[in-house]
Amino acid sequence: MKKIALIGNPNCGKSTLFNRLTGLSQKTSNLPGTTVETTSGIVKLKTSDVELIDLPGIYSLFAQAEDERLVVSTLIGIDSEKPDAIVYILDGTNLRRNLLLVSQVAELGIPASCILTMADTAKRRHIEINIDALQTELGIPVAVVNPRSDTNIQNAIDLLQNHHVGNTISVNDQFENRLKSFYLGNKERGLSEETLKRYRDIEQVVKKVIVNSDGKKRNNTINIDKYVTHPILGILIFFLVMMALFQGVFYLADAPMGWIENGFGWFKTMLDETLPSGMWSDFVKDGIFSGIEGVIVFVPQIFILFFLIGLLEDSGYMVRASFITDRVMRKIGLNGRSIIPLVGGFACAIPSIMATRTIKNKRERLITMLVVPLMSCSARLPVYVLLISLAIPASSFWGPFPAQSFVMTSAYFAGIVVALIFAVLFNFFNKTKEKSEFVLELPTYQSPRIQTVISQAWIKCRSFLTEAGKVIIIISMVLWALSNFGPKTAMDKARSEAKIVAALGSPDSIQIEQSLKLEASYAGHIGKFIEPAITPLGYDWKTGIALITSFAAREVFVGTMSTLFQTPDNDKNVIGIRKKMQAEINPTNGKPLYGIPYAISLIFFYAFALQCVSTMAVMKKETGSWYWPVMLFFIYGGIAYLSAFAAYNIFNLYF
């Protein structure tokens, strides 16, 4: 099958067109030996099908960011075969800058054709483009297409069968060799002279192609930006947008998460009824399906948050967020561009770490990656919810604030503050000298394209499902084994005790048996083993087990606690666990064992500790070694331990 690559500047409508043409046939694939993903899809043509490849938008082939380099490696055929043809996407409102890329790519001699977008906007701005002249100058077929509407989409499809090796606008000897050498990291001299010469040659083309431009550049975007970048209003808008984002996620994700939980509940009941009782059935039900449920239940939150961020990105707002935050970000060693991965970190660290590829500066990219896991991701939320509702009555107020939402908000803010502190520290200890760069196009505002946003949010969800999913399911199976098997003598003892309880006719006998067995199991032994280390934080051995199981994914905490507290299957939710936990009394001081100090201490622990194996694995891929994941595990673990210790002891004085 023929491979055709779409090439264009950022914000030229390339991805929209790609979505229109390929629809549901899209798939992402890793280039061999890299973590960089390309999206491709199949387009059915009359005679044959073609594979269309969507490459990241770039301004020039001499690019340094990880995602931009992918375009170069594809075009010069470094990790894969060269594409059979290229389709340039040119933004009609911005022809000069778009033609720079064309002038470079044309020198590679790959057959090409060209799609002109935003021609209507250009017309409204009184820029008239002569298509025939453009066709003659470039020496390739040109079609006008509006990717956002259905008109003319056939033109784009026709163009996929029609490409020629075009004219070169500007000629530079040895261009391909220079490009290869630059790609491999060599310094190439005279690049800026070359670029200036290209622009001079482009100007000759533009003179023939743009027939009429009245020179008055109308743009509503500037009027909107007056508010969005205003010193007071702009910051207010930024915080309002972020608040709306999170409220939106909680509000929208609630129902689908409920459906998933109910669906799995129903499914497990059905398994209970159909499978013969016994160890293997338990394994299927509690080992495998609980793991799968633990993965799927996050999809709504992650999808919705990335969908909403996608709307903001596609409309053009996120770039403004980068613009207004750059000054602060720069001071702490980050970049305005870091804002998108950081906000994404509230959904899931895995795709957000991947999203740092747009940051060119290696140091800034690394530091962004390192602090992303401190953003409270969606897996921490159920833990926070359980602990808060466990220890703090809904009606209580701390000063003027409702205590429950005060603690929840503080947990999120604690993550942000510690992230800022660590960014400063990492920046201080990182001595690599590389000039920081901002240079960011502020694209025209547009209404976001839902289809594009959905498909991109889904790609991010998929990276969570594939990266975290397999780890969570495997660990869930291991945990099942650890909590169902144990040293023989201990297990026998638990069984005989359980029999006595059963003989006494206690209504809770099944749950008591489960709890006794768990205590006797390997998991119970591990919990008891680490108990001395976590007693200063206010935790008992049961919490210890839950802490360990949380390494699969933090929310496994909730499931583990529900098993440990013998909640009946039909009451296996936050309320059921809460009732059981609240009844426990600390024998040494007569206070509730799982009171406010316990809850706050544990919230701090979860906010900071790097308890996610999948995040570590992705970080290893992106940084190329285990150094940083392992370092962060200990650094953030240490901070988690110390702050939990401090929180427990301080709150113990008051509650």
The residue ranges that bind other proteins (CB under 8 A) are: 59-60, 62, 93-94, 96-97, 100, 125, 127, 191-192, 195-196, 199, 203, 215, 217, 219, 221-222, 225-226, 229-232, 234-235, 319, 322-324, 326-327, 330, 336, 435, 437-444
- For residue 145, the number of C-alpha atoms closer than 13 Å in the C-beta half-sphere is 29
Which residue, 9 or 168, has its beta carbon nearer to other proteins? 9
Which residue, 228 or 546, has its beta carbon nearer to other proteins? 228
Q: What is the dihedral of CA 100, 102, 108, 109, to 10 degrees?
A: -140
CB of residue 71 to other proteins, shortest distance in Å? 14
Which residue, 322 or 352, has its beta carbon nearer to other proteins? 322
Which residue, 182 or 412, has its beta carbon nearer to other proteins? 182
Instruction: Mark 560-585 as b/e (b = at least 16 C-beta within 10 Å).
Output: bbbbbbbbeeeebebebbbebbeeee
**DSSP 3-state of 38:** strand
- CB count within 10 Å of CB 57 equals 21
- What is the helix (H) or strand (E) element at residue 174, kind and residue range? none
Spatial CA neighbour of 53 closest among 70, 69, 32, 34: 70
DSSP string, 510-522: HHHHHHHHHHHSH
CB of residue 225 to other proteins, shortest distance in Å? 6
CB of residue 320 to other proteins, shortest distance in Å? 9
CB of residue 18 to other proteins, shortest distance in Å? 22
Contact 108, 121 (CB under 8 A): no
Contact 347, 380 (CB under 8 A): no
CB of residue 596 to other proteins, shortest distance in Å? 39
C-alpha angle 200-121-209 in degrees, rounded to nearest 5? 35
DSSP string, 580-591: HHHT-B-TTT-S
CB of residue 97 to other proteins, shortest distance in Å? 4
Q: What are the tokens at 367? A: 């530091």
C-alpha angle 438-439-441 in degrees, rounded to nearest 5? 125
Which residue, 45 or 236, has its beta carbon nearer to other proteins? 236
CB of residue 441 to other proteins, shortest distance in Å? 6
Q: How far apart are CA 536 and CA 581, in angstroms?
A: 19
Cα four-point dihedral sign 135, 138, 143, 145: negative
Which residue, 440 or 630, has its beta carbon nearer to other proteins? 440
| Residue spans of alpha helices (H) in 275-379 | 279-282, 290-296, 299-315, 317-331, 339-344, 349-354, 362-371
CB of residue 88 to other proteins, shortest distance in Å? 16
CB of residue 68 to other proteins, shortest distance in Å? 11
CB of residue 64 to other proteins, shortest distance in Å? 9
Which residue, 125 or 591, has its beta carbon nearer to other proteins? 125
CB of residue 330 to other proteins, shortest distance in Å? 8
Q: How far apart are CA 384 and CA 425, in angstroms?
A: 27
Q: Report which DSSP code applies to 164.
A: B
Which residue, 324 or 602, has its beta carbon nearer to other proteins? 324
Q: Report which DSSP code applies to 12.
A: S
Which residue, 1 or 439, has its beta carbon nearer to other proteins? 439
Spatial CA neighbour of 473 closest among 234, 238, 283: 283
Q: Report which DSSP code applies to 536.
A: G
CB of residue 324 to other proteins, shortest distance in Å? 5
Q: How far apart are CA 4 and CA 2, in angstroms?
A: 6
Which residue, 75 or 472, has its beta carbon nearer to other proteins? 75
Which residue, 199 or 412, has its beta carbon nearer to other proteins? 199
CB of residue 333 to other proteins, shortest distance in Å? 15
CB of residue 4 to other proteins, shortest distance in Å? 25
Q: How far apart are CA 202 and CA 97, in angstroms?
A: 9
Spatial CA neighbour of 603 closest among 344, 399, 391, 353: 391
CB of residue 339 to other proteins, shortest distance in Å? 12
Q: How far apart are CA 68 and CA 59, in angstroms?
A: 9
Q: Report which DSSP code applies to 136.
A: H
Q: How far apart are CA 516 and CA 639, in angstroms?
A: 34
Q: How far apart are CA 378 and CA 376, in angstroms?
A: 7
Which residue, 232 or 279, has its beta carbon nearer to other proteins? 232
Spatial CA neighbour of 376 closest among 339, 418, 406: 418
Q: Report which DSSP code applies to 283.
A: I
